[in-house]
């Protein structure tokens, strides 16, 4: 049975399983898709078990466990991409990306540009964020750094269905993609996810709740809390529209502007630090384009400007109550 014939079949999956399904589908469709990273091969199958079973099915030639060297992992992935492969390179935690910044920012992101399009770098870098109890060096949200870097796409799913559709799209995109997984989402919610090949467009946000009074813009782990806030506020007579960005770069400004033109108020919510976080750019874009239409300044809610503490009580992440209070203040201003 072909992929297209299977497209309508779904199974309940959590995000970790949906990503495994995406990798399996991609590796089945194209033998140039390979995986490399620390502990990705069986029996471990990745620290969060996303690659579990794949080396058994496809062999260790295509699912390569590597030494603990982020520079080597990304450097090898770039070299493989230049000779026709589509490598999926895993960097275990987002903080460890810093070790390979030269390879990502000065090589992967620039090869297509410097070669006049002759040398794309179709690599997907999977990395994990979240969970302060892993310590300050294992939980930092650095997505704004890469939004600032031309030439690389930045993706962060909020649930199982998007986890599969966005990962497959990253793998088959001809530009380097940074695919950020939040460990708090890996085994939490369950959704019906297509079993076969399934791709969602990169750079296209998803309006997951329509509303007229306030636009709440979020991505990744803060999407579900934003939806819960919208339910709470509905009981207070405030009708919120909720946007899941899905992709941070390219940023779907058209969907954002269309929504805020209607609601005339906006809040941006994320786990990255509020200072110089993604919300700063989104807020600036809204103010520049829609200043005369706004009924209140754009609200930004993010983490405290501090290394991630071990205690979740000190994290400074937006909470249900802080988001509710910020929206109420903006609507009643």
Interval 200-246: pLDDT, tens: 999 999 999 999 999 999 999 999 999 999 999 999 999 999 999 99
pLDDT score, position 5? 38
Q: Is the pLDDT of residue 305 over 60?
A: yes
Residue 184 lies in a domain: yes
pLDDT score, position 132? 63
Task: Say yes or no: 32 and 147 in one domain.
Answer: yes
Task: Say yes or no: 142 and 220 in one domain.
Answer: no
* Cβ proximity of 260 and 217 under 8 Å: no
Give the number of residues written for the chain: 333
How far, rounded to the nearest angstrom, does the alpha carbon of residue 200 sit from its chain's CA centroid? 13
Task: Say yes or no: 39 and 179 in one domain.
Answer: yes
**Residue 6: pLDDT band with limits 50, 70, 90:** very low
Residue 1 lies in a domain: no
Tokens of 138: 């294992």
Task: Say yes or no: 120 and 229 in one domain.
Answer: no
How far, rounded to the nearest angstrom, does the alpha carbon of residue 268 sit from its chain's CA centroid? 16
Q: What is the CB neighbour count within 10 angstroms for residue 184?
A: 15
Q: What is the CB neighbour count within 10 angstroms for residue 198?
A: 22
> What is the tens place of the pLDDT at every residue in 109-161?
999 999 999 999 999 999 999 876 777 888 899 999 999 999 999 999 999 99
* Cβ proximity of 140 and 95 under 8 Å: yes
Q: Of 172, 194, 216, which residue constitutes the final position of a domain?
A: 194
* Cβ proximity of 154 and 146 under 8 Å: yes
Task: Say yes or no: 20 and 161 in one domain.
Answer: yes
Residue 265 lies in a domain: yes
**Residue 177: pLDDT band with limits 50, 70, 90:** very high
What average pLDDT score do residues 312-316 get?
A: 74
Tell me the CATH number at 292.
3.40.50.920
Task: Say yes or no: 292 and 231 in one domain.
Answer: yes
End-to-end CA distance of the chain: 58
Residue 279 lies in a domain: yes
Choice among 138, 270, 287, 320 that is catalytic: 138
User: Which value, to the nearest 10 degrees, does the dihedral of the CA atoms of residues 315, 321, 326, 329 take?
Assistant: -150
Q: Is the pLDDT of residue 92 over 50?
A: yes
List helix spans (H) across the chain: 3-6, 15-29, 54-58, 70-81, 101, 111-114, 143-147, 160-171, 223-234, 253-263, 278-290, 320-331
What average pLDDT score do residues 268-276 get?
A: 96
Kindly state the DSSP code that residue 159 receives in the 8-state scheme. S
Task: Say yes or no: 282 and 310 in one domain.
Answer: yes
For residue 281, what are the domain limits?
Answer: 206-331
What average pLDDT score do residues 293-305 get?
A: 96
Q: Of 159, 194, 229, which residue constitutes the final position of a domain?
A: 194
Total structural domains within the chain: 2
Residue 172 lies in a domain: yes
**Strand, helix or coil for residue 36:** strand
Instruction: Provide the β-strand partners of residue 63.
Output: 35
Residues with Cβ within 8 Å of 148's Cβ and at least 6 positions away in sequence, in order, are none
**Residue 33: pLDDT band with limits 50, 70, 90:** very high
* Cβ proximity of 249 and 212 under 8 Å: no
What average pLDDT score do residues 164-187 get?
A: 97
Tokens of 41: 């091969």
Task: Say yes or no: 270 and 134 in one domain.
Answer: no
Average pLDDT along the chain: 94
Residue 159 lies in a domain: yes
pLDDT score, position 138? 86
Tell me the CATH number at 148.
3.40.50.970
Torsion sign (Cα): 242, 322, 277, 17: negative
Task: Say yes or no: 188 and 279 in one domain.
Answer: no
Task: Say yes or no: 187 and 216 in one domain.
Answer: no
**Is residue 138 flagged as an active site residue?**
yes
**Strand, helix or coil for residue 233:** helix
Place of tokens 């992929």: 3
* Cβ proximity of 91 and 62 under 8 Å: no
pLDDT score, position 2? 32
Task: Say yes or no: 220 and 190 in one domain.
Answer: no
Q: Of 171, 194, 217, which residue constitutes the final position of a domain?
A: 194
Residue 201 lies in a domain: no
Of 130, 137, 188, give the one whose Cα is nearest residue 315.
Answer: 130
CA distance 285 to 282: 5
Tokens of 319: 């909470």
Residue 4 lies in a domain: no
Region of 204 (left: φ > 0; alpha: ψ -120 to 50; beta: rest) is beta
Radius of gyration, alpha carbons of the chain = 20
Task: Say yes or no: 95 and 159 in one domain.
Answer: yes
């Amino acid at each position: 049975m072909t992929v297209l014939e299977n497209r309508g079949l779904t199974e309940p999956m959590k995000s970790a399983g949906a990503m495994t399904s995406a990798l399996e589908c991609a590796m089945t469709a194209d033998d140039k898709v390979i995986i490399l990273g620390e502990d990705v091969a069986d029996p471990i199958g990745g620290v969060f078990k996303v690659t579990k079973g794949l080396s058994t099915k496809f062999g260790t030639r295509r699912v390569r466990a590597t030494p603990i060297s982020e520079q080597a992992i990304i450097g090898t992935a770039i070299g493989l991409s230049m000779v026709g492969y589509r490598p999926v390179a895993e960097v275990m935690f987002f903080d460890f990306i810093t070790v390979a910044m030269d390879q990502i920012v000065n090589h992967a992101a620039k090869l297509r540009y410097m070669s006049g399009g002759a040398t794309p770098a179709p690599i997907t870098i999977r990395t994990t964020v979240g969970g302060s109890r892993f310590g300050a060096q294992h939980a930092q949200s650095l997505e704004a750094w890469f939004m600032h870097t031309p030439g690389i796409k930045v993706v962060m799913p909020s649930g199982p269905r998007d986890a599969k559709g966005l990962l497959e799209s990253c793998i088959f995109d001809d530009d380097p993609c940074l695919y950020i997984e939040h460990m708090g989402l890996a085994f939490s919610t369950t959704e019906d996810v297509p079993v076969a090949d399934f791709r969602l467009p990169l750079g296209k946000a998803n309006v997951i709740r329509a509303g007229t009074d306030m636009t709440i813009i979020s991505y990744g782990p803060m999407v579900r809390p934003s939806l819960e806030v919208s339910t709470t506020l509905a009981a207070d007579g405030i009708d919120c529209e909720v946007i899941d960005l899905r992709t941070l770069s390219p940023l779907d400004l058209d969907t954002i502007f269309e929504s805020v033109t209607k609601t005339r108020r906006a809040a941006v919510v994320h786990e990255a630090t509020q200072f110089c976080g993604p919300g700063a750019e989104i807020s600036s874009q809204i103010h520049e384009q829609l200043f005369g239409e706004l009924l209140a300044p754009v609200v930004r809610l993010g983490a405290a400007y501090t290394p991630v503490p071990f205690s979740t009580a000190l994290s400074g992440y937006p909470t249900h109550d802080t988001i509710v209070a910020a929206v109420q203040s903006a609507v009643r201003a």
